[in-house]
Chain A
Amino acid sequence: MLKANVTVTLKKSILDPQGSAVEKALKSMKYPVESVRIGKFMEVTLAETDKAKAEEMMHEICHKLLSNPVIEDYFFELEG
């Protein structure tokens, strides 16, 4: 069975208030941190076994639902 590990992040041009809050917390803990961006991780187990088809399908899924292309970027890796 194929598994897709999907990461969705806010586009670089979009402010990430969650990331900024965590960044401030880390800085207040005196860690030498430059910046923090928060994203999402999703594991999708596929019923499709053909790798090429799975890849095409995952792009479609990511584009349609898992990410909002207006504000987010995505990438994924197929496993298995």
Chain B
Amino acid sequence: MKIGIIRFPGSNCEVDCLEAWRVAGQDPVMIWHQETSVKGFDLIVLPGGFSYGDYLRTGAIARFSPVMDDVVTFAKSGGLVWGICNGFQILTECGLLPGALLRNAGMHFVCSPQYLRVERNDLAFTNKYQEGQIIQIPVNHGEGNYTIDDEGLAGLKANNQIVFRYVTSEGEATEKGSPNGSRENIAGIVNEQGNVLGMMPHPERVVEELIGGVDGKDMFLSILEHWERRTQRGA
């Protein structure tokens, strides 16, 4: 599988993503943000970090990086795009995903393990999980408070676009379960077509027991499984 990880000035989770993909048996390529084409890739990852120092708004400047024009074209033609943390913020800024990510409701930067509920397992990104499965993935952000207006939220629900919700250890999507005040405890969403996913938590940090857990690994294996199935069908 040909995987490209975009590196913006200020990205800092791109090597974690690279390593996580290596654990899954793949060998991704780093793509500098000044490149202008993502042609030939099967998946584009927008990693976490602080692109452009979070100046102005998180993701606001990265979204105008030269490579992003082609990432948008790639996404619109059905290519898989996966934005994690700052990558999610960039995806909302460039309009590939609805809503926006605001300062955490409690004003604190949060960096901790977090329980999530998998709301959908029929996606390229989540087919290895069970629907309703509770997984533990760390969060690490100051601006993860997902916001969307009533109309937008109704659209997300109607199209079944909510993929992950923050929950308590008992699996309840209550205020107590949320680290940042996100609307409806939303931690990750997908576009209507299901090929662009944005999430605040960091699955790339939990792919080996040695570093504290493996709950994120199935996202990598899901994408791989999806790609293998599609390739077999195509062959």
- Residue positions of A touching B, CB distance < 8 A: 10, 13-15, 17-18, 21, 65-66, 68, 70-71
B147 at the interface (CB under 8 A from A): yes
Q: Assess whether A71 is in contact with B100, with CB atoms less than 8 Å apart.
A: yes
Taking a contact as CB atoms under 8 Å apart, the answer to whether B60 and A65 are in contact is yes
* CB <8 Å contact, A18 and B99: no
Choose one: B99, B107, B149; the contact of A13 (CB below 8 Å).
B149
Contact of A68 among B100, B106, B107, B148 (CB under 8 A): B100
- The residue among B92, B99, B107, B147 with the most chain A CB atoms within 10 A of its own CB is B147
Q: By the criterion CB–CB under 8 Å, are A15 and B107 in contact?
A: no
The reply to whether A70 and B105 contact each other, CB–CB distance below 8 Å, is no
* Residue pair A68, B149 in contact (C-beta under 8 Å): no
CB <8 Å contact, A65 and B64: yes
Q: Are B147 and A14 in contact (CB under 8 A)?
A: yes
User: Which residues on the B side are within 8 Å of A14 (C-beta)?
Assistant: 102, 147
Q: A65-B64, A70-B99, A71-B147 are in contact. Are A21 and B56 (CB under 8 A)?
A: no
Q: B137-187: which have CB < 8 Å to A? A: 147-149, 181
Give the top 4 A-B pairs by smallest Cβ distance, nearest first: A70-B100, A71-B100, A17-B107, A17-B103
Contacts of A71 in B (CB 8 A): 100, 102, 147
- CA–CA, A70 and B106, complex, Å: 21
In this complex, the member of A13, A17, A21, A66 whose beta carbon has the largest number of chain B beta carbons within 10 angstroms is: A17
Of A13, A15, A66, A71, most buried by chain B (CB within 10 Å of CB) is A71
Q: Decide: B56 and A66 in contact? CB cutoff 8 A.
A: yes
Q: How far is the CB of B88 from chain A (nearest CB, A)?
A: 14
For chain B, residues 114 to 145, give those with C-beta under 8 angstroms from any C-beta of chain A.
Answer: none
Task: Looking at the assembled complex, report how far the CB atom of B23 sits from the nearest CB atom of chain A, in whole angstroms.
Answer: 35
**Are A17 and B105 in contact, CB atoms less than 8 angstroms apart?**
yes
Residue B93 is within 8 A (CB to CB) of chain A in the complex: yes
Task: Determine if B56 and A17 form an interchain contact, defined as CB atoms under 8 angstroms apart.
Answer: no
Contact call A70/B107, Cβ cutoff below 8 A: no
B149 nearest CB neighbor, chain A only? A13
Partner of B92, one of A10, A17, A65, A70: A70
Enumerate 19 A-B pairs (CB-CB under 8 Å) in ascending A order.
A14-B102, A15-B102, A15-B105, A15-B181, A17-B103, A17-B105, A17-B106, A17-B107, A18-B103, A18-B107, A21-B107, A65-B64, A66-B56, A68-B60, A70-B92, A70-B98, A70-B99, A71-B100, A71-B147
